[in-house]
Structures are given as structure tokens and as C-alpha cells.
Amino acid sequence: MRYTGIPIPESLINNNTLISILILVSVVVLILIKQRQSLFVSSLYNLYSNNSFLTGKITISDQIQQYSLLALSLFGVSLFFAHTIQLQSLSWNGIGYLFTMLAAYFVIKLIAMQVYLRLFFGSHIKEFIYKYISLTIALGLNCFAAFILLKYAPLIPATFLYGYMLLIAIIYTLSVFYILFRHFFYSFALILHLILYLCTLEIMPILIAIKWAL
């Protein structure tokens, strides 16, 4: 007697070959970052400084490397989020949809942030944007590393990894607000600008993303 099995759909999150490739790509990218002293490294190195680190011309190669890292990091956030909410059966389309939503949210927020800062402030805008992107890259790479450990290192307690990522998320949020206050909202007279920023660029995008997701 022959039995017909139930086909199991291919899942991106359980694709070991793809994950192995992504690990290799991540290692290569990090090696290149260390050797080339890219915008990512320079931004993080000068994160809490008011000194301008954009002394030379930003090349197309620098921008390609920066935004490639950003795409990889957002994909890492997507994988970690999918694993966290136990979406183990997500197909390629499901993960792609999650990544697209996250990327669209970040791009729209980044554009709105640049428009807002150019309307009310005249300096340090480019430095802040690159610092913000680099912080997001660091967050995403940590998410990707946590996802790999959750999936392939069962001896490490999941509670520890989730606690670590919570700490990283808190540091990320505090760092973003710190450089915002250091570069822009350093005076009490700018309190109305701060309230406008919080409403339009922090609270409203989250509400729109939640409504879009539902």
C-alpha cells in the first residue's frame, strides 16, 4: 500500500542553505567594513560627537555599501521578528512581504525625517542621517546574529537572547534621541519642535504601520 504524503511548503526561515549563504555574506561584509573604514564605521565611531566626520566626498561605492548593509540588516530584523512571533511556516512570499513592509516604513520615515530637519534646521542634517542609518544597521545585524543563535545554538537560552535584544533596542532608541538632542533639540525653546517631531515622525508612523499590518 502506498501513502501519499502531505507536501510541506518551502519556508524561507527554515532554509538552511539560504541562512548559510547569509552568514557568509555577513562575514565578508563585516571584513570589508573593518578594512575600508566605511561610513558605517565612521558614523558609529563619531556617534556621540558633534564633530563632522564627513570630511571627504561620499562616493557611489560608499553609498552602495551603506545601503546594502541597511538592506541586509532590515532582512535580519524581519527574520528575528518572524522567529519571535513563531511564524515558522512563512513562505518566501510571507517573509518578502514582511521585509517589504519594514523597508517601506523605514524609507518613508527617513524621507519624512529629512524633510522635517531641512525645514527647521540647517546644519548637521547629513551627519545625523548617516548616524541614524548606521544605528539601524547595527540593530539589524544584532537581530540577524540573535536569529542565527536562536535557530542553531539551542544551548544558549532563548530568554537570554531576547533579553539581549531588548537591551540593544533600548540602547538604539536612547542613542537616536541622544544625537537628536545633541544636534537639534538642545534648547528648551525648541520644545514645540520636539513635540512636532515626536508626533509626526515617531508616533504617527508606528500607528500607520500597525493599521497597515492589520
What pLDDT, on the 0 to 100 scale, is given for residue 171? 92
**Cα gap 101→18, rounded to integer Å:** 21
pLDDT at 13 over 60: no
The pTM for the full model equals 0.78
- Would you kindly state where each structural domain of the chain is located, as residue ranges? 12-45+59-213
Residue 191: partners with Cβ closer than 8 Å, 6 or more residues away: 185
User: What cell was used for 68?
Assistant: 546594502
Residues 158-208: pLDDT tens digits? 889 899 999 999 999 898 888 888 877 776 666 777 777 777 777 777 777
If you average pLDDT over every residue of the chain, what do you get? 76
Task: State the pLDDT at residue 53.
Answer: 65
State the pLDDT at residue 168. 92
Q: Quick one: how far is CA 68 from the chain centroid?
A: 12
Q: What is the pLDDT of residues 80-120, one digit of tens each?
A: 888 777 655 556 667 778 888 888 888 888 888 888 888 87
